[in-house]
Amino acid sequence: MRKIEKGLFKIVSICVSVCLFVHTIAYATPTLRANLMFDESKRQQGIERTDDANEFLSRKDKEKILEEEIFEQWDKIRASRSGINAVLSTRYSTEQNIENTRKLQEDIFGILEGTLEGKRVFEVGVGIGRMTSEIAKRAKEIIGNDISPNMIQRATKNLKGFDNVSLHVGKITELGLSPKSFDLVFSSLVLIHIINPEELKQTIEKMKELSDRVFIVEQTYQDKGPPRSKYTIFRRREEYEQLFKPYNLTMQKEHIVSEQDTVTMMLFENPDQSQPTLTKDILLDNQKGLQKNL
């Protein structure tokens, strides 16, 4: 009888210890506590918890954030982060961000293989140049911009070995570029950070003005996930389709970064372009090849 009592006591002790451990882990940090206690009804109302565990913001709230605050976030705060973390979430370690970037680059440039060679490309929002270098290896010329002088300074250092890259400070709408002067406009994880709806529309209109082909990589909306930066708005693929009209979405592919993060690669093409669609067959072949290799 005593052996049974001792056995039961041990089982109860283990259960209590496990419960205490889970409780400690769950409430160890504000971010994790926010994830576990997040009120899903708020998300259904379009209200999201930000990086600040005590702050809830709706999409309309984010759209009202002043341009000066956004600029300071990118040019002073984000640009001061070391390495690749300047342009990626600190929810991941530096090593994870480097590996995630490598995998994303493989996917992007696997799909675009054969479409950049000898071409003139414009990149919107180069950041520190993490995608610019890969484009420069393939394209004849790449011109890029960023609103942050500090980001451009860092990108310039990172791209020293390339003589086919030209970088400019300012918005794409401010650069005075000629219409249809590029074979492709490229953008990776930039439009999610343009939170003013009018500026977003103007940016996309300029992207379409510069080229008959626009390739974007964006983190797309998920019903569940971690707290999000107050300077970020996730949009559904359907919303991008509306914004890019009359351009057609001719290719899309999801790339899973983690259980919490998914990005979507999308190619938009002008249905009225004077030249035939040069990239479509190649893109489909590349996409099939990638699927076979998975």
Residues 182-228 have pLDDT tens digits of 999 999 999 999 999 999 999 999 999 999 999 999 998 766 667 77
Tokens of 39: 């009120």
Question: Which among 263, 261, 280 is positioned nearest to 271, based on CA atoms?
Answer: 280
Q: In this predicted structure, what is the pLDDT of residue 227?
A: 73
Mean pLDDT estimate for the chain: 84
Q: In this predicted structure, what is the pLDDT of residue 15?
A: 58
Q: In this predicted structure, what is the pLDDT of residue 241?
A: 97
**Is a pLDDT exceeding 90 seen at residue 30?**
no
Separation CA 271–CA 287 (nearest Å): 21
Separation CA 81–CA 94 (nearest Å): 11
Separation CA 124–CA 132 (nearest Å): 10
**Is a pLDDT exceeding 50 seen at residue 25?**
no
**Is a pLDDT exceeding 50 seen at residue 32?**
no
**Structural domains of the chain sorted by starting position, each given as residue range(s) with its CATH number in brackets:** 67-293 (3.40.50.150)
**Is a pLDDT exceeding 60 seen at residue 3?**
no
SS (H, E, C) 79-104: HHCCHHHHCCCCCCCHHHHHHHHHHH
Rounded to two decimals, the pTM is 0.79
